[in-house]
Structure 1
Amino acid sequence: MFLDELAVRSLINEGGLCWGGELRRDSLLLTLGNRLQPMAYRPPAVVDVTDQDQIDAMYGETMVGWHSFILRRGALALFHANHPVALPNGVGGLIGGLSHMARLGLTVHLDTSIVDAGFHGVLTIEMFNAGPSDVILRPGMPVAKVILYHVGGDASAGPYHHVFYGNEDHLGSKYAPEFFSAPVVEGQSD
């Protein structure tokens, strides 16, 4: 069940939900923070996702304290949200883009809209420009919202800890170290 505005405000007031940003009715309003990671100017043509060095080669230099950024047509960039969030156990979230941004051709969170119950940290916002024009983005701009919901059963049993999720030190994918102990080498079997 999705939480309405009254339930969200109650969670904040009671200290169950830590959120320093604005609410947009019943949702947490996500704005762009001061950390941005563009994709590399000349990324590799092919990347083996079992090799973290190859994944890292897809990214440009992380920008901290940026003032404006041009998201080019057909480009992807990663942004930290302006405010960290701490969800209580038993409450998860769904990230959705603002329709105003979608009508410009900007997508938010290509395929990772779920925020796990008990998440504590800074959300990374993936923005892709599918529109006909380059778009200038600035810190503090509202771009998405998080709708909260109750999680039932054993999913809400304990605290949520994950080495990569919500970490303020990186924005890019850490797929390889999470799922592979070493890069897969063709011709070798595990």
Structure 2
Amino acid sequence: MSILSDKTILERIRLQKDLIIEPLDDNDIQPCSIDLHLSEELKTIQGQQYNLKPYSYLVLEPGDFILGSTREYVVIPDDLVAVVDGKSSLGRLGITAHVTAGYIDAGFHGNITLEIANLSDEPFRLQKDMPIAQIVFHTLTSPVNRPYGSSGLNSHYQNSKGTILSKKKDEKN
């Protein structure tokens, strides 16, 4: 596997049109990643919803955890896999944007749900459209036979719109 450069990312988006990131601002294209932004919808793991309006914010207290999603809708082609991770500037403040599950399979379509936690000892303000994460693309040795969303794969989050709660059923230990 190799990581796509900014040049190749732009070729895949603009020429091949098989990689989709919408909306996309050219200023968000980094040397080997694309910055992603926080959408307006946040949810607790129990499903309580918060909507960030323009010029408003939600304070994430130390130790708090909340689900959010990317403003961007992403389509990953069958020959790429993506990894989503937090921005280093937020990590240095103790804010994680993707606690786990940062791997985005080939064939995924949708908004990416983020697991946001405040690991610091200071409150932090989450604002709509703030840069919250980055996505890196890796080429596969060949296109996958069964992309995410294929029949029989149990792809719970295909075509996700907004912040999606866990689809894992309650299990007893």
Distance, in Å, in 2 between the alignment partners of 1:36 and 1:184 is: 25
1:166, distance to aligned residue in structure 2 (A) = 4.5
| Pairing partner for 1:174 from 164, 167, 171 | 167
> Could you tell me the TM-score, scaled by structure 1's length?
0.76
| Pairing partner for 1:148 from 133, 137, 142 | 137
Report % sequence identity: 23
| Pairing partner for 2:38 from 32, 42, 52 | 32
Give the SS at the match of 2:3. Answer: coil
Aligned residues: 160
Q: Is the 8 A contact 2:52 2:58 kept in 1?
A: no
158-167 or 71-80, which deviates more = 158-167
Alignment-mate amino acid for residue 12 of structure 1: I
Show the counterpart of 1:64.
Answer: 51
Show the counterpart of 2:81.
Answer: 92
1:160, distance to aligned residue in structure 2 (A) = 2.3
Distance, in Å, in 1 between the alignment partners of 2:31 and 2:66 is: 27
Q: Is the 8 A contact 1:123 1:166 kept in 2?
A: no
Q: Is the 8 A contact 1:92 1:150 kept in 2?
A: yes
Residue 148 to residue 73, structure 1, CA distance change in 2 (3 Å): same
Give the SS at the match of 2:93. Answer: coil
Q: Is the 8 A contact 1:69 1:136 kept in 2?
A: yes
The answer for unaligned runs of 5 or more in structure 1 is 40-57, 177-182
Q: Is the 8 A contact 2:42 2:163 kept in 1?
A: no
Q: Is the 8 A contact 2:41 2:162 kept in 1?
A: no
Residue 185 to residue 68, structure 1, CA distance change in 2 (3 Å): closer
Distance, in Å, in 2 between the alignment partners of 1:72 and 1:65 is: 16
1:158, distance to aligned residue in structure 2 (A) = 3.8
1:26, distance to aligned residue in structure 2 (A) = 2.1
Distance, in Å, in 1 between the alignment partners of 2:112 and 2:62 is: 24
Distance, in Å, in 2 between the alignment partners of 1:35 and 1:69 is: 11
Q: C-alpha offsets along residues 136-179 of structure 1, whole Å, 9 cap, x if unaligned?
A: 110010011011001224x6124421233452265221111xxx
Alignment-mate amino acid for residue 164 of structure 2: L
RMSD: 2.0
Distance, in Å, in 2 between the alignment partners of 1:94 and 1:123 is: 11
Bigger Rg, structure 1 or 2:
1
Distance, in Å, in 1 between the alignment partners of 2:171 and 2:99 is: 26
Distance, in Å, in 2 between the alignment partners of 1:108 and 1:159 is: 25
Matches within 5 A, 1:40-189: 58-66=45-53, 67-153=56-142, 156-161=144-149, 162-168=155-161, 170-176=163-169
* Structure 1 moving runs of 4+ over 6 Å: none
> Could you tell me the TM-score, scaled by structure 2's length?
0.83
